Structure 1
Amino acid sequence: MAEQAKRRRRRRSRSTVNGILGHAAPLNVFAVREGLPVHTVESLAGCLHVTSATMQRWLSLSKQTYARRRKQGRLSALESDRVVRYAELLHRAVELLGDIDAAAHWLNTPAVALDGEAPLDHATTEIGARDVLRLIGRLEHGIPT
């Protein structure tokens, strides 16, 4: 029973991440390896209420590299993986707070539990993203942070 609920939640999570990224096809490892369309950066920036330049900084994309990716139309696999990381954080925050605007605000607000860093700034590395996910999990379960 609990396993079925987990599977349903994972399926819902993937479809929500697809929606956030504006990605019509099911998001899977092959889509990420192939490289997501560049427009996913702007889509995600809009959802997070940040500029494209801020997203580029979080994704470790220089202006020159981003311009090159725009011409090519696709991000690299590593860049795509980072985009998915941020989309998943947004999705989890929306699940927690119930609203995309509230989630974006929370993700952009410094958190004491993250040493005063905003969750999105803290998530520039995989380990930082895991810290943010742990924080969301603690909040979901009412554990003081």
Structure 2
Amino acid sequence: MAKAILEPQQNKVSGGRDSGQSVAGAGSRVEQVRAEYVVSAGRPAAALVAQGAAGAWVLYRNQFLSSSAQTQISEIRKGASASNLIGMAEALHVPRERIYQLIGLSASTAKRKLARDETLDPPMTERLNRIGAIEKLAEDTFGDPVMASAWLQTSNLGLGNLAPLSLLDTEIGCREVSRVLNAIAYGGAA
């Protein structure tokens, strides 16, 4: 399930102060255009699905991140589909083997899980989603998935001159990358 997208819909409304309108003069009524928002989940979801494995990964990631803590715990315990490894690799523009390393899977185990359409175990699912949260934070910070991917793969002074992606195999590394992204987003020192 994709996150809902808000789209503006123009409606004309007339009224006085009680309906939130400004009044130009005493006793006059002013028409004002008010933007209401409607929820549209179909179009973005269809566009992401058209992107193949990367789009399916982004849909899964966004659904997971927008879920309640209880739902996230349940999803982690259930295990994510191994196909998300391919989607994450495509979305980040990195080799699959790099994602296998970050998740803590050998290439042979990953290939077996993919061939049999198996799920990842809970610790691997948790790592996958933790990396997904950093990926999403980078996309939100830079406003573009391609820029986010490039930033994650580029050495960063604030991270000891290491590429942020190289730190995402540990919780502490994810916290450090998150700290730098928040500093970038809010103008602090990285």
The TM tier, using the shorter chain, reads: 0.7 to 0.9
Please tell me the root mean square deviation across aligned C-alpha atoms, in Å: 2.0
Partner of 1:123: 168
Structure 2 counterpart of 1:83, from 128, 137, 141: 128
Percent of pairs with identical residues: 25
| Distance apart, 1:21 and its partner CA | 4.1
Aligned residues: 128
Q: For structure 2, which runs of at least 5 residues remain unmatched after alignment?
A: 1-54, 65-71
CA distance 1:24–1:109, change in 2 (3 Å): closer
- Structure 2 residue matching 1:61: 3-state secondary structure: coil
For 1:41 and 1:87, the matched residues in 2 are separated by 11
CA distance 1:55–1:140, change in 2 (3 Å): same
- Structure with the higher fraction of residues in helix conformation: 1
Structure 1 counterpart of 2:100, from 38, 56, 79: 56
Partner of 1:38: 82
- Structure with the higher fraction of residues in strand conformation: 2
**Relative contact order higher in (CA < 8 Å, ≥ 6 apart):** 1
Q: How does 1:89-104 map to 2 (within 5 A)?
A: 89-104=134-149
| Distance apart, 1:66 and its partner CA | 1.3
Larger Rg: 2
For the Cα contact (< 8 Å) 1:22–1:40, is it kept in 2? no
Structure 2 counterpart of 1:68, from 108, 112, 116: 112
Structure 2 residue 152 is the aligned partner of structure 1 residue 107: yes
Partner of 2:25: none
For the Cα contact (< 8 Å) 1:22–1:43, is it kept in 2? no
4+ runs deviating over 3 angstroms: 18-22
- Deviation track 1:19-62 (CA, whole Å, cap 9, x = no partner) reads 64443995321111111001111111111110111100111111
For 1:97 and 1:24, the matched residues in 2 are separated by 18
- Deviation track 1:86-117 (CA, whole Å, cap 9, x = no partner) reads 11111000110000000000011110111111
For 1:86 and 1:24, the matched residues in 2 are separated by 10
TM-score, normalised on structure 2? 0.62
Structure 1 counterpart of 2:60, from 10, 23, 44: 23
For 1:83 and 1:106, the matched residues in 2 are separated by 19
For 1:67 and 1:141, the matched residues in 2 are separated by 40
Letter of the structure 2 residue corresponding to residue 69 of structure 1: K
CA distance 1:72–1:19, change in 2 (3 Å): closer
CA distance 1:77–1:117, change in 2 (3 Å): same
For 1:65 and 1:24, the matched residues in 2 are separated by 22
For 1:114 and 1:107, the matched residues in 2 are separated by 11
